[in-house]
Structures are given as C-alpha cells and as structure tokens.
Structure 1
Amino acid sequence: MTTAVLFDMDGVILEGPRTEPDVYANAADAALVELEADPSPSQRRDFRRHDYDRIRDHCVDLDVDPAEFWRLKETYASSRTHDRLRDGERGTYDDIDAIRDLADRTTVGLVTNNRHETAEFVADYLGFDFDVVRGRDPTFEGYDRRKPDPYYIEEALDALDITEGVYVGDSPKDVVAGRAAGLETAFVRRPHNRARERPANATYDLESLQEVVDVLESAGGNG
C-alpha cells in the first residue's frame, strides 16, 4: 500500500509560522476600498482581524456582502503574499529540496491552513511536484475548517485514494489534525518552535526535512 507524505506549508516550507498580520490588515483595507465601504475606526480594526462574527455584523451595518468582503480580503492577502515571496521578503527553509527527493519515491502533498490560492502558488513557484495541494477555501466555512480540524487533510487523502501516511508539521495543531485523519505525524523543528516540548501523540520529532526519508522507510512507503 502506498504511503503518502503530506506537508504543512507555513513553518515547514515557508519561513515563519504564519502570514504576517500586516498582510491581512492591508488586504482588508483594499477589500473595503473595492466595496466602497466607509467603516468607523473601530469597525476597520475588526475588519483587519479574523473575528468574522463582528465582520458579519459590520458588513450588515455598512450594506456590504460579508461573503464578498471575506473573498476579497483573502484574494488581496494572497496577492501580497505572493509578491513578498517573489521579492524575497519571505524566504524558504534550506532543507526543502528533501521534498523533491521524496516526490521521486512516493506520493507527496501539501495541506495547509493558508489560503488555497497561495498553496497552489507556492507549489508552482518553488517547482514542487505535489500529487495534491489543498489550502483553505476563501469562505467563512473554509476558515472554520482549518487545523486542528482534519477536514483538509482528509480531503487530500480522499483525492489521492490513500489511507496511510505521514503528516509533517511544525505545531501541535498539525499533530492533532494528522492523527485525527488517521496518519502518523512528524513534528519538524524550526527556530520558532525549537524550545517547545514534543507534542503529545507526535510519532516523530525531526530536526530537518532530510529526516523524512527515514520516516518514509519506517512507515513502509515505497511509492
């Protein structure tokens, strides 16, 4: 049986554990301009965050479609993120070539809490031959389905028609989601999580993506 190796993106491939808050703040401002909305300063602060209950309320007050605002905010955030990657403002870790090596040996995929548009961009921009790429949908429901919910990991496994594998992440929620999806989990060490205790139920604790090859052999994957 083929074993899949699925990778998280932020903190595993891209440096840093998450998208910079300013990216979302500026994306919210751009979405409000496009929608010709004029929020109060306190409303604008909420729009710049991810509290979508308040965002829904403010959209009603401003006669704005909440779903359209959220979609635009996600789109502008993706665009800015892609520019930052092209300009070198956000880098990648120096061990990601291990993913290319693994792609020659077994099924590999990318599953992230980040936006699906950005996940596809990263896969293409960095030249990864992933068998499946899955990020969050640009909807309120899509945001709710982020890890530790296993939803997107399970979708990726269904698309691959695979039930066994390893999920590689950098946070406890990655371990929770991977285990909930029935996978083994590899917790990879990065500068931002170096001092963190090994998450409960993490199958492997790795210093580098190069060690994932050993994990693959241990899990019995051979393509």
Structure 2
Amino acid sequence: MTETILLDMDGVVLEGPGTPQSVYDRAADTAAAELGLEPTDRQRADLRAHGYETVESACCALGADPREFWRRKEAAASRLAADRIRSGERARYEDVAALESLAERATLALVSNNRHETVRFVADHLPVPFAAARGRDPTPEGFCRRKPDPHLLRETLDELGIEAGLYVGDRETDVLAAEEVGLEAAYLRRPHNADVPLPEDAAYEIESLGELGNVLEKR
C-alpha cells in the first residue's frame, strides 16, 4: 500500500515560521491604493492587521467593502510572497531535497494555513511531485478555518481519497489538526521551535525531512 504524507509549508518546506508582517503591510497598502482609499495612520495600521475584524472595522470607517479589500490584500500578499521565493529572498530548507526520492514510495501533499495561491505556487515551484496542495481561501471564512481547525486537512484527504497517513508540522496546531482527522503527526524541529516542548499527541519527533523514510518503516 502506498503511504501518504501531508506536509505543512511554512517552517517545514520554506525557511522561517511564516510570512513576515512587511509583506502584509505592503499588500494592505496595495489594496488601499487599488480601491482609492485614503486612510489615516491609525486606519492604515488597522488595514495592515492580520486579523479580519480589525480590517473590517477600518474598511467600514472608510466606506469600503471589507470583503473586497480582504480579497485584494490576500491577492497582493500572494504576489509578493511569490516574488520573494523566486528571488531567493525566502529559501527552502536544504532537506526538502529528500522529498524527491521519498515521492517514489509515498504520495505527498502540501497543506498550509498560508494562502492557497501561495501554497499552489510553492508546490509548482519545488522539484517535488506533490499530488495535492491546499491553503486557506482568500475570504474571511477561509482565514477562520486555519489549523488547528481540521478543514484544510480534511479537504485534502477527500481530494486524495484516503483516510490515513502522516502529517508533518512544526507547531502544536499541526498536531491538533492531524489528530482531529485521524492522521499521525510528525513534529519537525527547526531553529524557531528548537526549545518548544514536544506536543503531547505527536507520534514522532524528527530533526530533518530526511528522517521521514525511517518513520515510514516504523509505521
């Protein structure tokens, strides 16, 4: 039987735990300019916020449709993120190379809280044959369905037509989401989580993606 391994993206495949705030700042400024908004300094700071409620409040004060602003902000953030990856400003971890040979014995998928457009770009950009790639929808509802909500993992499992497998993540939220859908969780150590206590429900603890082959042999 072919094994299935789902992987988180930020902090697992791409270096660093997530998209830097500077990207969201520039994305919000781009969305505001596209909509012809002239926010005060305080409103601009709120538009740059990561949470939807703060953005919604600022948009309403400016007479703008918050859902349209959010859509444009997410789209701009995805474009900026892709540029950073293309230029090498944001690199992949060296051990991602191990996934190329692992794909010969396992079905691989990329599942992340990041924007779907960005996850899809990374899946296409890397020399790894991912069978599926899933990120959050560019909507307020999509933002609310981030892990530990199991929505993204469940959608990916349904797409692949499987019910069991392994999920590789670098956060407790990854472990919680995996448990919710019946996946075993492999907790990957990276510099940003080196001293974080191992989540209680993690089935495996690994130091490199290169160890996944050994994990498969134990399952």
Q: Into which bin does the TM-score normalised by the smaller protein fall?
A: over 0.9
Deviation of the 1:60 alpha carbon: 1.9
Show the counterpart of 1:45.
Answer: 45
1:24 and 2:24 matched: yes
Does the 8 Å CA contact 2:2/2:105 hold for their aligned counterparts?
A: no
Does the 8 Å CA contact 2:47/2:59 hold for their aligned counterparts?
A: no
Does 1 or 2 have the higher relative contact order (CA < 8 Å, sep 6+)?
1
Show the counterpart of 2:14.
Answer: 14
2:6 is paired with a residue whose SS is: strand
Amino acid at match of 1:146: R
Amino acid at match of 1:193: N
Does the 8 Å CA contact 2:3/2:105 hold for their aligned counterparts?
A: no
Q: Percentage identity across aligned positions?
A: 52
Does the 8 Å CA contact 2:48/2:55 hold for their aligned counterparts?
A: no
Show the counterpart of 1:4.
Answer: 4
Does the 8 Å CA contact 2:6/2:165 hold for their aligned counterparts?
A: yes
Structure 2 runs not aligned, ≥5 long = none
Query: TM-score, length-normalised on structure 2?
Result: 0.97
1:149 and 2:130 matched: no
Amino acid at match of 1:196: V
Show the counterpart of 1:210.
Answer: 210
Q: CA RMSD in A?
A: 1.0
Deviation of the 1:57 alpha carbon: 2.1
Query: TM-score, length-normalised on structure 1?
Result: 0.95
Deviation of the 1:2 alpha carbon: 4.0
Deviations 1:87-124 (A, max 9, x none): 11111111001211121112110000011001111111
Does the 8 Å CA contact 2:153/2:181 hold for their aligned counterparts?
A: yes
Does the 8 Å CA contact 1:2/1:164 hold for their aligned counterparts?
A: no
Alignment of 1:190-209 (within 5 A): 190-209=190-209
Show the counterpart of 2:175.
Answer: 175
